[in-house]
Amino acid sequence: MTSARGHGVGGCGTDRGRRRRRLVPLAAVALLAVAGAACGRANAEGRSHLTVEVTIHHSTFAPPAFTFDKGTTVTFVIRNTDPIEHEFIVGDQAVQYYIEHTEHPTHDGSVPGQISVPPGATRETTYTFTDVTQRPSDMGFACHLPGHFKYGMHGPITVTA
Ligand SMILES: [Cu+2]
């Protein structure tokens, strides 16, 4: 219920979609907005290439969790509405642990799935979920600026076979 399913969704940003959303109750609007945030096409291997919108507000990620099929390429578009910097780091627990416990510069986008997002800015990073780790529940996303992970800036990414 809290996870954005990574399927291609038709009608991204169309008037039809927007109008339809306005007619349903508020709780359903939020759910549709999450589902509608994923737009699909094909990647080089013929798997899905999705674009997913992520919002950071009050040091909280929305949506709070993701599920993608193995092999899916995902372009995360991260919008930071806060007056402080954040970062969006995709990886397994080893990656998250390393970055959490290592002094590191800002993420300039040269590493897939790792990007710093300045205050009020929107940045994107693309990651292909080729390998499922030994434990699929290992995958996640997080912000590792001092204190942010502990505050709760992290969430799971479930990769299905
Ligand atoms: Cu942060």
What's the pLDDT tens digit per position in 74-113? Answer: 999 999 999 999 999 999 999 999 999 988 779 999 999 9
Distance (Å) from CA 65 to ligand 1 centroid: 16
Distance (Å) from CA 101 to ligand 1 centroid: 15
Q: What mean pLDDT do residues 152-159 have?
A: 95
| pLDDT at res. 120 | 98
| pLDDT at res. 13 | 43
- Residues lining ion ligand 1 (Cβ < 5 A) are 86, 143, 145, 148, 153
pTM over 0.85: no
| Structural domains in the chain (count) | 1
What is the residue-averaged pLDDT of the chain?
Answer: 80
- The answer, yes or no, to whether residue 136 has pLDDT greater than 60, is no
| pLDDT at res. 135 | 66
Distance (Å) from CA 45 to ligand 1 centroid: 33
The CATH number of the domain holding residue 151 is 2.60.40.420
Q: The domain containing residue 48 runs over which residues? A: 3-160
Distance (Å) from CA 44 to ligand 1 centroid: 32
Distance (Å) from CA 75 to ligand 1 centroid: 19
DSSP assignment of the chain: --EEE----SSTT-HHHHHHHHTS-HHHHHHHHHHHTEEEEE-TTSSEEEEEEEEEETTEEESSEEEEETT-EEEEEEEE-SSS-EEEEEE-HHHHHHHHTS-----BS-STTEEEE-TT-EEEEEEE--PPPSSGGG-EEE--STTHHHHT-EEEEEEE-
Distance (Å) from CA 21 to ligand 1 centroid: 30
pLDDT band at 133 (very low <50, low <70, confident <90, very high): low
Distance (Å) from CA 153 to ligand 1 centroid: 6
Distance (Å) from CA 145 to ligand 1 centroid: 5
Distance (Å) from CA 148 to ligand 1 centroid: 5
